[in-house]
Amino acid sequence: MEIRGERIEIRVGDARMGAYLARPKDGTPRPGVIVWMEIFGVNAHIREVTERVAREGYIALAPDFFHRSFPGLEVGYDPKGMEVGMKGLASLDADQMIADARAAVGHLRLLPGCTGRLGAMGFCIGGHMTYLSACETDVAAAASFYGGGIAAPKGPGGKDAPIARTPKLSGKLLCLFGGKDALIPASQVDAIRKALTDAKKRHELVVYPDADHGFFCNERATYHAASAADAWQRVTRLFAEELR
Protein backbone atom coordinates (compact mmCIF):
# COMPACT_ATOMS: atom_id res chain seq x y z
CA MET A 1 0.00 0.00 0.00
CA GLU A 2 1.35 3.39 -1.00
CA ILE A 3 1.59 5.86 1.87
CA ARG A 4 2.76 9.39 2.53
CA GLY A 5 4.47 10.75 5.63
CA GLU A 6 4.87 14.26 6.99
CA ARG A 7 5.91 16.21 10.06
CA ILE A 8 3.11 18.07 11.79
CA GLU A 9 2.44 19.97 15.01
CA ILE A 10 -0.40 19.43 17.47
CA ARG A 11 -1.59 22.11 19.86
CA VAL A 12 -1.53 21.10 23.54
CA GLY A 13 -2.81 24.05 25.53
CA ASP A 14 -0.36 26.87 24.79
CA ALA A 15 2.32 24.45 23.59
CA ARG A 16 2.90 22.71 20.28
CA MET A 17 3.79 19.03 20.14
CA GLY A 18 5.68 17.76 17.11
CA ALA A 19 4.56 14.51 15.51
CA TYR A 20 5.06 12.28 12.49
CA LEU A 21 1.96 11.41 10.49
CA ALA A 22 1.75 8.55 7.97
CA ARG A 23 -1.35 7.56 6.03
CA PRO A 24 -2.41 5.64 2.91
CA LYS A 25 -2.57 7.77 -0.23
CA ASP A 26 -5.83 6.33 -1.53
CA GLY A 27 -8.07 8.64 0.52
CA THR A 28 -10.28 5.81 1.79
CA PRO A 29 -11.71 6.51 5.28
CA ARG A 30 -9.48 4.80 7.85
CA PRO A 31 -9.30 4.24 11.62
CA GLY A 32 -6.45 5.97 13.41
CA VAL A 33 -3.57 4.58 15.48
CA ILE A 34 -1.27 6.54 17.80
CA VAL A 35 2.30 5.22 17.99
CA TRP A 36 3.99 6.25 21.24
CA MET A 37 7.78 6.57 21.09
CA GLU A 38 10.52 5.20 23.34
CA ILE A 39 12.86 7.51 25.26
CA PHE A 40 14.85 7.87 22.02
CA GLY A 41 12.27 10.16 20.44
CA VAL A 42 10.39 9.99 17.16
CA ASN A 43 13.50 8.60 15.51
CA ALA A 44 13.95 6.60 12.31
CA HIS A 45 12.74 3.39 13.94
CA ILE A 46 9.54 4.94 15.33
CA ARG A 47 8.85 6.58 11.97
CA GLU A 48 9.32 3.20 10.29
CA VAL A 49 6.87 1.57 12.70
CA THR A 50 4.41 4.41 12.06
CA GLU A 51 4.68 3.82 8.32
CA ARG A 52 4.28 0.08 8.87
CA VAL A 53 1.02 0.73 10.71
CA ALA A 54 -0.12 3.00 7.87
CA ARG A 55 0.54 0.23 5.36
CA GLU A 56 -1.84 -1.95 7.34
CA GLY A 57 -4.54 0.57 6.43
CA TYR A 58 -4.55 3.09 9.27
CA ILE A 59 -3.87 6.79 9.73
CA ALA A 60 -0.84 6.55 12.03
CA LEU A 61 0.45 9.33 14.27
CA ALA A 62 3.66 9.34 16.35
CA PRO A 63 3.64 12.30 18.79
CA ASP A 64 6.72 13.71 20.55
CA PHE A 65 5.77 13.81 24.23
CA PHE A 66 9.22 15.20 25.10
CA HIS A 67 8.16 18.46 23.44
CA ARG A 68 8.33 20.41 26.71
CA SER A 69 11.83 19.37 27.73
CA PHE A 70 13.66 17.97 24.66
CA PRO A 71 11.58 18.96 21.62
CA GLY A 72 12.48 17.10 18.46
CA LEU A 73 14.77 14.66 20.27
CA GLU A 74 16.01 11.87 17.99
CA VAL A 75 18.82 9.69 19.26
CA GLY A 76 20.14 6.20 18.65
CA TYR A 77 20.38 3.18 20.91
CA ASP A 78 23.95 3.81 22.07
CA PRO A 79 24.99 4.88 25.60
CA LYS A 80 24.91 8.57 24.68
CA GLY A 81 21.38 8.25 23.30
CA MET A 82 20.34 6.37 26.43
CA GLU A 83 21.77 9.11 28.66
CA VAL A 84 19.84 11.86 26.88
CA GLY A 85 16.69 9.77 26.70
CA MET A 86 16.77 9.10 30.43
CA LYS A 87 16.86 12.86 31.06
CA GLY A 88 13.74 13.16 28.94
CA LEU A 89 12.13 10.36 30.92
CA ALA A 90 12.90 12.12 34.20
CA SER A 91 11.21 15.29 32.93
CA LEU A 92 7.81 13.66 32.41
CA ASP A 93 4.69 14.35 34.44
CA ALA A 94 1.64 12.08 34.19
CA ASP A 95 -0.84 14.97 34.00
CA GLN A 96 1.06 16.46 31.07
CA MET A 97 1.28 13.03 29.42
CA ILE A 98 -2.49 12.67 29.68
CA ALA A 99 -2.89 16.13 28.14
CA ASP A 100 -0.64 15.04 25.27
CA ALA A 101 -2.61 11.82 24.80
CA ARG A 102 -5.93 13.65 24.70
CA ALA A 103 -4.53 16.21 22.26
CA ALA A 104 -3.26 13.43 19.99
CA VAL A 105 -6.62 11.66 20.12
CA GLY A 106 -8.46 14.88 19.31
CA HIS A 107 -6.15 15.82 16.45
CA LEU A 108 -6.22 12.36 14.87
CA ARG A 109 -10.00 12.12 15.11
CA LEU A 110 -10.44 15.44 13.29
CA LEU A 111 -8.16 14.59 10.38
CA PRO A 112 -9.98 14.26 7.03
CA GLY A 113 -10.63 10.60 6.30
CA CYS A 114 -10.37 9.38 9.89
CA THR A 115 -13.35 7.25 10.88
CA GLY A 116 -12.99 8.31 14.51
CA ARG A 117 -12.27 4.78 15.72
CA LEU A 118 -8.82 4.93 17.35
CA GLY A 119 -6.13 2.65 18.72
CA ALA A 120 -2.76 3.17 20.38
CA MET A 121 0.50 1.30 20.67
CA GLY A 122 3.90 2.10 22.14
CA PHE A 123 7.23 0.87 23.40
CA CYS A 124 9.00 1.17 26.79
CA ILE A 125 7.91 4.57 28.15
CA GLY A 126 5.63 4.58 25.11
CA GLY A 127 4.18 1.30 26.42
CA HIS A 128 3.56 3.11 29.70
CA MET A 129 1.96 5.95 27.74
CA THR A 130 -0.19 3.41 25.88
CA TYR A 131 -1.58 1.98 29.12
CA LEU A 132 -2.14 5.52 30.40
CA SER A 133 -3.90 6.47 27.16
CA ALA A 134 -6.09 3.38 27.33
CA CYS A 135 -7.26 4.43 30.80
CA GLU A 136 -7.54 8.19 30.25
CA THR A 137 -8.92 8.43 26.69
CA ASP A 138 -11.51 6.53 24.69
CA VAL A 139 -9.17 4.58 22.40
CA ALA A 140 -10.88 1.31 21.51
CA ALA A 141 -7.75 -0.83 21.40
CA ALA A 142 -4.23 -0.48 22.81
CA ALA A 143 -1.03 -2.51 22.55
CA SER A 144 1.61 -1.85 25.20
CA PHE A 145 5.09 -3.22 24.48
CA TYR A 146 7.25 -3.69 27.61
CA GLY A 147 5.74 -0.65 29.31
CA GLY A 148 8.00 0.29 32.19
CA GLY A 149 6.62 1.68 35.43
CA ILE A 150 3.01 0.67 34.80
CA ALA A 151 2.88 -1.09 38.17
CA ALA A 152 5.23 1.29 39.99
CA PRO A 153 4.10 2.82 43.31
CA LYS A 154 3.77 6.20 41.59
CA GLY A 155 3.72 7.47 38.04
CA PRO A 156 5.78 10.30 36.50
CA GLY A 157 5.66 13.45 38.58
CA GLY A 158 4.47 11.50 41.61
CA LYS A 159 0.99 11.07 40.13
CA ASP A 160 -1.06 7.86 40.12
CA ALA A 161 0.65 5.03 38.22
CA PRO A 162 -1.22 3.55 35.24
CA ILE A 163 -2.10 0.39 37.16
CA ALA A 164 -4.13 2.46 39.64
CA ARG A 165 -6.15 3.80 36.72
CA THR A 166 -7.07 0.34 35.39
CA PRO A 167 -10.77 0.58 36.41
CA LYS A 168 -11.12 3.49 33.93
CA LEU A 169 -10.04 1.39 30.94
CA SER A 170 -12.82 1.06 28.36
CA GLY A 171 -11.26 -0.58 25.28
CA LYS A 172 -9.30 -3.81 24.85
CA LEU A 173 -5.69 -3.87 26.03
CA LEU A 174 -2.83 -6.06 24.82
CA CYS A 175 0.30 -6.13 27.03
CA LEU A 176 3.52 -7.66 25.70
CA PHE A 177 6.55 -8.38 27.89
CA GLY A 178 9.89 -10.17 27.69
CA GLY A 179 10.61 -12.92 30.18
CA LYS A 180 14.26 -11.82 30.35
CA ASP A 181 13.44 -8.13 30.92
CA ALA A 182 15.20 -7.13 34.15
CA LEU A 183 13.69 -3.62 33.90
CA ILE A 184 10.18 -4.99 34.45
CA PRO A 185 10.19 -7.67 37.19
CA ALA A 186 7.83 -10.62 36.92
CA SER A 187 6.11 -9.36 40.07
CA GLN A 188 5.06 -6.20 38.23
CA VAL A 189 3.79 -8.22 35.26
CA ASP A 190 1.78 -10.36 37.68
CA ALA A 191 0.38 -7.23 39.31
CA ILE A 192 -0.75 -5.87 35.93
CA ARG A 193 -2.40 -9.18 35.06
CA LYS A 194 -4.19 -9.23 38.42
CA ALA A 195 -5.36 -5.62 38.11
CA LEU A 196 -6.84 -6.23 34.67
CA THR A 197 -8.47 -9.48 35.74
CA ASP A 198 -9.87 -8.06 38.97
CA ALA A 199 -11.31 -5.08 37.11
CA LYS A 200 -12.85 -7.46 34.55
CA LYS A 201 -11.25 -5.63 31.64
CA ARG A 202 -10.91 -7.15 28.20
CA HIS A 203 -7.22 -7.87 27.86
CA GLU A 204 -4.49 -10.19 26.66
CA LEU A 205 -1.13 -10.35 28.43
CA VAL A 206 1.74 -12.19 26.78
CA VAL A 207 5.21 -12.92 28.15
CA TYR A 208 7.83 -14.11 25.64
CA PRO A 209 10.22 -16.30 27.67
CA ASP A 210 13.27 -15.70 25.45
CA ALA A 211 12.78 -11.98 24.91
CA ASP A 212 14.42 -9.04 26.68
CA HIS A 213 13.48 -5.35 26.95
CA GLY A 214 13.29 -3.75 23.50
CA PHE A 215 12.70 -7.07 21.71
CA PHE A 216 10.58 -5.45 18.96
CA CYS A 217 13.22 -2.97 17.77
CA ASN A 218 15.47 -4.40 15.06
CA GLU A 219 18.04 -1.65 15.76
CA ARG A 220 18.67 -2.82 19.32
CA ALA A 221 20.94 -5.61 20.50
CA THR A 222 17.96 -7.14 22.33
CA TYR A 223 15.89 -7.57 19.15
CA HIS A 224 14.21 -10.98 19.16
CA ALA A 225 12.80 -11.75 15.72
CA ALA A 226 10.43 -14.58 16.66
CA SER A 227 8.85 -12.64 19.52
CA ALA A 228 8.63 -9.46 17.42
CA ALA A 229 6.88 -11.34 14.60
CA ASP A 230 4.35 -12.92 16.94
CA ALA A 231 3.73 -9.59 18.68
CA TRP A 232 3.07 -7.87 15.36
CA GLN A 233 0.51 -10.52 14.41
CA ARG A 234 -1.28 -10.00 17.73
CA VAL A 235 -1.27 -6.22 17.33
CA THR A 236 -2.59 -6.26 13.77
CA ARG A 237 -5.30 -8.74 14.78
CA LEU A 238 -6.29 -6.56 17.74
CA PHE A 239 -6.63 -3.46 15.58
CA ALA A 240 -8.47 -5.32 12.81
CA GLU A 241 -11.00 -6.73 15.27
CA GLU A 242 -11.54 -3.61 17.36
CA LEU A 243 -11.10 -0.69 14.94
CA ARG A 244 -12.61 -1.81 11.64
Q: Which CATH number does the domain housing residue 44 bear?
A: 3.40.50.1820
DSSP string, 104-144: HHHHHHHSTTEEEEEEEEEETHHHHHHHHHHHHS--SEEEE
Tell me which residue range forms the domain holding 77: 3-243
Catalytic residue among 181, 203, 217, 224: 181
Quote the pTM value: 0.97
For the question of residue 181 being annotated catalytic, the response is: yes
Catalytic residue among 45, 67, 124, 224: 124
Cβ-contact 68, 90 below 8 angstroms: no
Catalytic pick among 67, 128, 203, 213: 213
Specify the DSSP element, H or E, that contains 204.
Answer: strand 203-208
Number of domains in the chain: 1
Q: What pLDDT digit, counting tens, does each position of 141-198 carry?
A: 999 999 999 999 999 999 999 999 999 999 999 999 999 999 999 999 999 999 999 9
pLDDT digits (tens, 9 = 90+) for 218-239: 999 999 999 999 999 999 999 9
